[in-house]
Amino acid sequence: MKRQAVIDFFSSKIFAGCILGICIMLVAIGIFEVGVHVGYHEALFSNRWNENYSQNFSGMNAFGFPNTHTPNPDGTLGKILSITTDSSGTTTLIISSKQKPEEKILITSSTILRERLKNISVSDLSVGAYAVVIGTPNTTGEIVASLLRLVPSPTTAAASSTTLF
């Protein structure tokens, strides 16, 4: 008799409802945990980006003094000195910045190229133009660009008070 009662319980709608309820709760908790994890990392990134904004984009350290002794491996701002494209389709730029006289930038097919609010192509880049590059360093010290934005030259922007974006 006990065996039949156990079989009846496991095949009942109440048991199926309990199992379904537990599964729904586990999925809801999993979704919540993923949201907490993503939110935490977004907040952490935002905080770190905010703390390093002036150092990354103006070359100033936390005390407001020029930070000229350590180049930023994740990007640069400067004048394009040369443009070459190899047989694999990778374009290499040499950019002269305040921190380094020559910095090698690799433009790949996944690099976003912009000038103000419009997308541009590699053919729109020219020697003598000024660019802001954000990317990641590779093992040979080159920056693999994620984003390259052409900007007005510092003297033109200062004279006309043009916005960069």
Q: For residues 40 and 81, state if they share a domain.
A: no
Q: For residues 87 and 148, state if they share a domain.
A: yes
Domain holding 19, by residue range, is 2-50
In terms of DSSP bridges, do strands 103-107 and 91-97 run parallel, antiparallel, or are they unpaired? antiparallel
Q: For residues 46 and 96, state if they share a domain.
A: no
Q: For residues 88 and 34, state if they share a domain.
A: no
Count of structural domains, the chain: 2
In a domain, 165, yes or no: no
In a domain, 57, yes or no: no
Q: For residues 151 and 112, state if they share a domain.
A: yes
Mean pLDDT over each residue of the chain, to the nearest integer: 82
Q: For residues 94 and 156, state if they share a domain.
A: yes
Q: Give the integer Cα–Cα distance in Å for 159 and 165.
A: 16
At 90 the pLDDT is 87
Q: What is the pLDDT of residues 10-22, one digit of tens each?
A: 888 988 999 999 9
- pLDDT band at 165, cuts 50/70/90? very low
User: What is the pTM assigned to this prediction?
Assistant: 0.54
More confident residue, 35 or 51: 35
CATH number at residue 104: 2.40.50.140
Q: Give the integer Cα–Cα distance in Å for 50 and 108.
A: 28
Detail the DSSP E strand segments found in the chain.
75-85, 91-97, 103-107, 112-115, 118-119, 130-137, 143-151
Q: For residues 92 and 154, state if they share a domain.
A: yes
Q: At what angle do helices 2-10 and 13-51 cross, to 10 degrees?
A: 50
Q: Return the closest-CA partner of residue 113 out of 78, 147, 152, 151.
A: 147
